[in-house]
Amino acid sequence: MTSHVPVMPAEVLALLSPRDGGTYLDATFGGGGHAALILEAASCTLFAIDRDPAAIARGAALAARHPGRLSLIEGRFGSMLELLSRAGVTRLDGVLMDFGVSSFQLEDAARGFSFRLEGPLDMRMGGGGESAAVLVNRLPAPELARLFAEYGEERYARRIARAIETARKRAPIATTTELAGIIRAAQPASRERIDPATRSFQALRIRVNDELEEIARGLADAASLLAPGGRLVAISFHSLEDRLVKTCMAEAAGRAAAPSRHVPAKPRPAARFRLLTPRALRPSASEIAANPRAASARLRAVERLAVAA
């Protein structure tokens, strides 16, 4: 049976700090675990976005338990400004963004996200766009290698791309397990704990769903929507996501990296936010033991200042 356990629930609630009468956004509804916690923590109004129609459909039961308090919106969180404007929302007291793929998506073989389950090579969180199968079977080997190196930080990217190119000449690569086998066979034996297919599958999923660009747009929109005192809480699951969040929050807090001494210094923009997490928070050992998928989570948060500092 598919299950969903929200990551770092106590930390999310402590930092988001929902209050009675406030208006909040769960920008990545997924399984609805965090949304349920927010609704139970305060008598607030919650909007929730997800590009996956199945996630929106599952959310109907939670909305029924909290009549008039939860509004579900199908769409991309990178378009939250437009989506919320249509709903008449121009200011928020808090935004939660929990990136990556949900347990429901991973455990549904037909969605094609998991290399452990036999399924079609799809990986699309929504319904449109090119599937992973299209990319794997059509991209030239050099472009595949760049994809694996950039989005998966895969050291054997070129080997894997060449192996895929050889395999697809015989027949199109159609399933998750077939692709995973090709990826594993292309790499030398390793003592790493993670499956050798992990990074390449991550890279394909990121490319298929335009995830990094989506995160950048979503962070910018969230910052513009927050009222003074409003908080943005973001949970990342790999270094590319966390780097984007860290940079965005540091710049918003007026802590952008100093320019090179060879480049004329420019005045830094005034801080608009206060960092609530000088360093990323990590899940506890007990949480990881209970929910191994939480192991790679990194949580960062900022608070909108009442006036520019």
- What's residue 257's pLDDT? 56
Average pLDDT, stretch 134-147? 97
CATH classification at residue 250: 3.40.50.150
pLDDT value of residue 1: 36
pLDDT for the residue numbered 264: 56
Average pLDDT of the chain, as a whole number: 92
Instruction: Convert the pLDDT of each residue in 248-284 to its tens digit.
Output: 999 999 986 545 454 455 566 678 999 999 999 999 9
Q: Where are the alpha helices (DSSP H) in the chain?
A: 9-16, 33-41, 53-65, 80-86, 103-107, 132-138, 141-152, 157-170, 176-185, 198-209, 211-225, 239-252, 285-290
Name the pLDDT band for 7 (thresholds 50, 70, 90).
very high
Confidence of residue 78 (pLDDT cuts 50, 70, 90): very high
309 falls within a domain: no
Q: 168: phi > 0 → left, psi -120 to 50 → alpha, else beta; which?
A: alpha
Together in a domain, 144 and 181: yes
**pLDDT at position 104, please?**
81
2: in domain: no
What confidence tens digit (pLDDT) does each residue in 170-213 have?
999 999 999 999 999 999 988 778 899 999 999 999 999 999 99
User: Do 197 and 285 share a domain, yes or no?
Assistant: no
Give how many domains the chain has, as a whole number.
Answer: 2
Side-by-side strand order, sheet with 298-304: 70-74, 45-50, 23-26, 92-98, 226-236, 298-304, 273-275
Last residue of some domain: 177, 194, 209?
209
Residue 1 maps to a domain: no
Instruction: Give the structural domain span for 172.
Output: 109-209
- pLDDT of 3 above 80: no
Confidence of residue 155 (pLDDT cuts 50, 70, 90): very high
Q: What per-residue confidence (pLDDT) applies to 268?
A: 63
179, 209, 239: which is the final residue of a domain?
Answer: 209
Q: How far apart are CA 71 and CA 163, in angstroms?
A: 46
Q: Is residue 3 domain-resident?
A: no
Mean pLDDT, rounded, for 220-227: 97
Within this chain, do residues 194 and 216 fall inside the same structural domain, yes or no? no
Same domain, yes or no, for 164 and 299?
no
The CATH number assigned to the domain holding 203 equals: 1.10.150.170
- The Cα-based distances of 179 to 127, 172, 176, 197 in angstroms read 22, 10, 5, 8
Confidence band for 308, pLDDT divided at 50, 70 and 90: very low
pLDDT, tens digit, for every residue of 17-76?
999 999 999 999 999 999 999 999 999 999 999 999 999 999 999 999 999 999 999 999
Share of the chain above pLDDT 90, in %: 83
Q: Indicate the residue among 176, 209, 242 that finishes a domain.
A: 209
pLDDT of residue 186: 96
pLDDT of 260: 46
| pTM (two decimals) | 0.90
Q: How confident is the model at residue 309 (pLDDT cuts 50, 70, 90)?
A: very low
